[in-house]
A = this chain, B = another copy of it.
């Protein structure tokens, strides 16, 4: 039996059609979660699911699941991702996983193929977390990791709640959260990093998601005149923030391997050329695929921060902004992805995901894995986000082959 081939042009057309909704003049997309643009994007996606003959359910947190029946009444093999974006997002982050899933369904429908297990395509609410925190909210609620009432009462910066916005846009559904039970989950996504492009590879076989630890530090020093305060009498908040910033780079080098460490945000106060900083607030983003190594990095960071603060005579406090343990995807599904990548003749490597994805939530309740395709320049969360059409099409074809293998596998 020949292998069905996805319709590459249809996939691209659909990506561009959805990308028109919330399109920015600069070429990207702004479809913040639960905005009017998100509603329009949901309407478009839901209509496409119905066109494909899928049964559509919307749950109380607004997750949309379209199901395409199998020959047997079993838990479905689920594909999916999200269609919300950051304020200056691209066409592919999230959308690609959803629309490639629908392209898989369309391809099978056209070919008259019905798999043993049903297939589902999920659109999870508020993956980006750009408007409501935490990110990956819909999938986290779906797997029982965040109580529904807590998610619904979360408010954005203007004090508007998830519940209010879900009702306003008509996407607080009646389906039971967490249903259907899922057989397995495969998420296709752009890499959002430079690794595949740098290595000249076509596919990333994603073995897991690295652990994330976000910490905000606040340094309280003493504001004084930069021209009249002897160096020995200073309590300079900016200096300690800078020392920690330099330290985290050294820490990542010392721990090596897959330890990432970034100070991306820093605010000084009063932030004047001739005034010693009274306060510095900055963030440290630590990531590691290894749970123990991540904890070690955190511990070393806190020890250094305290030591630097003490040496300068300033006070340093910290709070955790986010923390996720590393997630290892199911080896059987990962191996299956690798086999199908080989069958496709695509070049690839096994790799972790640097960013968080809905798949890491689904991994709590079912065997899961992810497929990456290259991001040009490694850019994402950026209107210049781009993946070459051939890469987008190859990824969707691989997704098709993986879900066919999963959906038709023996018990």
Contacts and interface: CB of A to CB of B under 8 A. Distances in A.
Given A239-B246, A265-B273, A266-B266, A378 B231 contact: no
Overall SS of chain A's interface: mixed
Nearest to A232: B253
A44 B223 CA distance: 31
Contacts of A225: 192-193, 354-355, 378, 380-381
A246 to B, nearest CB: 5
Contacts of A242: 241-243, 245-246, 263
A111 interface: no
A106 interface: no
The 7 closest A-B pairs by CB, nearest first: A193-B228, A228-B354, A242-B245, A227-B354, A226-B262, A242-B242, A273-B283
A364 to B, nearest CB: 20
Contacts of A114: none
Given A246-B239, A273-B285, A283-B273, A228 B194 contact: yes
B283 A228 contact: no
Contacts of A265: 268, 271-273
Interface in A275-308: 275-277, 283, 285, 287
Interface of A: 191-195, 198, 210, 212, 214, 216, 223-231, 233, 236, 238-239, 241-243, 245-246, 249, 252-253, 259-268, 271-277, 283, 285, 287, 321, 353-356, 378-382
Contacts of A355: 225, 227-228
A194 B381 CA distance: 47
A160 to B, nearest CB: 20
B253 A231 contact: yes
A227 B274 contact: no
A236 B245 CA distance: 11
Contacts of A249: 231, 236, 239
Contacts of A193: 224-225, 227-230
Q: How many copies of this kind of chain does the complex include? A: 2
Contacts of A245: 238-239, 242
A322 B315 CA distance: 32
Contacts of A233: 194, 198, 378
Contacts of A380: 225, 228
Contacts of A264: 226, 238, 268, 271-277
Nearest to A249: B239
Contacts of A285: 226-227, 273-274
Contact of A191 (B228, B238, B266, B382): B228
Contacts of A210: 227
A321 to B, nearest CB: 7
Contacts of A260: 226-227, 229-231
Contacts of A356: 227
A227 B93 CA distance: 14
Nearest to A233: B194
B287 A227 contact: yes
Given A228-B195, A238-B266, A245-B242, A223 B382 contact: yes
Nearest to A259: B231
Contact of A266 (B198, B253, B268, B353): B268
A236 B224 contact: no
A231 B275 contact: no
Contact of A354 (B229, B259, B378): B229
